[in-house]
Amino acid sequence: MHVIVLGCGVSGLSCGIRLLEAGHTVEIRARELPPHTTSDVAAAVWGPYRAFPQDRVTAWARRTFNVLCELAARPEAGIQVVRGVELFNEAPPEPWWAPCVPSLRAATAEELVPGFSHGYSFEAPIIEMPRYLPFLQARFRERGGRILQREVRSLDEVWREAPVVVNCTGLGARSLVGDDSLFPIRGEVLRVAPPPVAGFIVDESEVRGIGYVISRSADCILGGTAEDGNDSLVPDPAKGEAILERCRRLLPSGARFQVLEHKVGLRPGRPTVRLEEERVGEHRVIHNYGHGGAGVTLSWGCAEEVVALVGPVH
Ligand SMILES: Cc1cc2nc3c(=O)[nH]c(=O)nc-3n(C[C@H](O)[C@H](O)[C@H](O)COP(=O)(O)OP(=O)(O)OC[C@H]3O[C@@H](n4cnc5c(N)ncnc54)[C@H](O)[C@@H]3O)c2cc1C
């Protein structure tokens, strides 16, 4: 079956690869390609942040965790599975996503950062998006997929060419299918080098605002912010300074690094991820968007459910 996937972020590429593997012919059509999608800005560490509902998200996140750990064996994928900590000021309950992460345990005194009394420690994949997205694009093309850069203004445009369309347009679904429940969750991050620590550190105390440090092979992402409803893509220098200040508290005193880049992305917020089939007359669209702050974390689990909804090759 010929399938057109709309969107070339992590959702569209993962769906495209799994659909090709299932025997379909696939074209990705997207307004922006990497490195210009929201997915390029993702920090990105595995973690189901601001994505719902919990039961479906847990299943997608668990499956994706396993696939990302397998891909980490291939150096060109840009994934490292590393230990990191999430920090709190009081004893936290067990996280709802604990069933996905076999290595989760209480942080030891040595792992806790001064100023925090409690924490979880666990191993999770860190995904370097500037390496991972080109890796996915190459995999998609190697399997016979085609990528076309073009904006699509209505599903009718593509239904003329393919009976089944997969909608992975992220926040773009607001205008493409008129989904008013989608909203931007604006996030700012700093890219710094060299990495001041190994692994990842996340401040979950919410006393000072969001703070995280995610070290990659040659650089490190410091975050962050989460502003609902703001869709400005212009970095705010004051917010960048505040991120630095929050992250300095998480790092060893005197850690030295240089700020290389200040980036902004709009997470596709939605009360729930939309992953479902819609039929319009003879035409079909499988929606797969609204993954909030967890599009990378849910990508393979969602892609495999999309393939099941598309159905067998005729
Ligand atoms: C600062 C920040 C940090 C983050 N950290 C993490 C993290 O650590 N872990 C994690 O899992 N997630 C993280 N995220 C969230 C993650 O980036 C998103 O959930 C994810 O990128 C969504 O991917 P997507 O492919 O669905 O959408 P996108 O990456 O937005 O891709 C959408 C695609 O659709 C295309 N498109 C849109 N409209 C149209 C149209 N009309 N016609 C044709 N094409 C169209 C776009 O051009 C693009 O190609 C973070 C996000 C931000 C901003």
For 198-214, write each residue's pLDDT tens digit. 999 999 987 888 999 99
- For residue 46, the model assigns a pLDDT of 98
Residues with CB under 6 A from ligand 1: 6-12, 29-32, 37-39, 41-45, 47, 151-152, 168-172, 176, 187, 189, 223-224, 265, 267-268, 289, 291-297
Angle among Cα 246, 251, 257 to the nearest 5 degrees reads 95
| Alpha carbon 164 to its chain's center | 25
Q: Whose C-alpha lies nearest to ligand 1, atom 10?
A: 294
Pocket-testing residue among 65, 132, 154, 291, ligand 1, by greatest number of atoms within 8 A of Cβ? 291
- For residue 268, the model assigns a pLDDT of 98
CATH T-level topology, domain 2-310: Rossmann fold (3.40.50)
User: What average pLDDT does this structure show over 85-95?
Assistant: 95
> What are the residue ranges spanned by the domains of the chain?
2-310
Report how far residue 171's alpha carbon sits from residue 269's, in angstroms, rounded to the nearest whole number: 8
- For residue 29, the model assigns a pLDDT of 98
Cα 59 to ligand 1 centroid, rounded to whole Å: 20
User: Reading across the β-sheet that carries 146-149, which strands appear in turn?
Assistant: 146-149, 25-30, 2-6, 164-167, 283-289, 274-280
Q: Whose C-alpha lies nearest to ligand 1, atom 27?
A: 170
Residues 6+ apart with CB under 8 A from 72: 79, 80, 81, 125
With H, G, I as helix, E, B as strand and everything else as coil, classify residue 4.
Answer: strand
132: confidence class by pLDDT, cuts 50, 70, 90: very high
Q: Please report, for residues 130, 156, 272, the alpha-carbon distance to residue 177 in angstroms, rounded to integers and kept in the order given.
A: 29, 11, 16
236: confidence class by pLDDT, cuts 50, 70, 90: very high
Residues 80, 217 contacting (CB under 8 angstroms):
yes
Residues 248-257: pLDDT tens digits? 999 999 999 9
- For residue 209, the model assigns a pLDDT of 86
- For residue 262, the model assigns a pLDDT of 98
pLDDT beyond 90 at 313: no
User: What average pLDDT does this structure show over 265-273?
Assistant: 98
Residues 33-64: pLDDT tens digits? 999 999 999 999 999 999 999 999 999 999 99
Cα 107 to ligand 1 centroid, rounded to whole Å: 32
Pocket-testing residue among 38, 155, 176, ligand 1, by greatest number of atoms within 8 A of Cβ? 38
Pocket-testing residue among 4, 10, 285, ligand 1, by greatest number of atoms within 8 A of Cβ? 10
Indicate which atom in ligand 1 lies nearest the CA of residue 44: 8
- For residue 208, the model assigns a pLDDT of 81
Considering Cα of 150, then 152, then 153, then 159, what sign does the dihedral take? positive
Indicate which atom in ligand 1 lies nearest the CA of residue 51: 19
Q: Whose C-alpha lies nearest to ligand 1, atom 48?
A: 7
Q: What is the model's pTM? A: 0.98
Q: Which helix (H) or strand (E) holds 30?
A: strand 25-30
Indicate which atom in ligand 1 lies nearest the CA of residue 290: 26
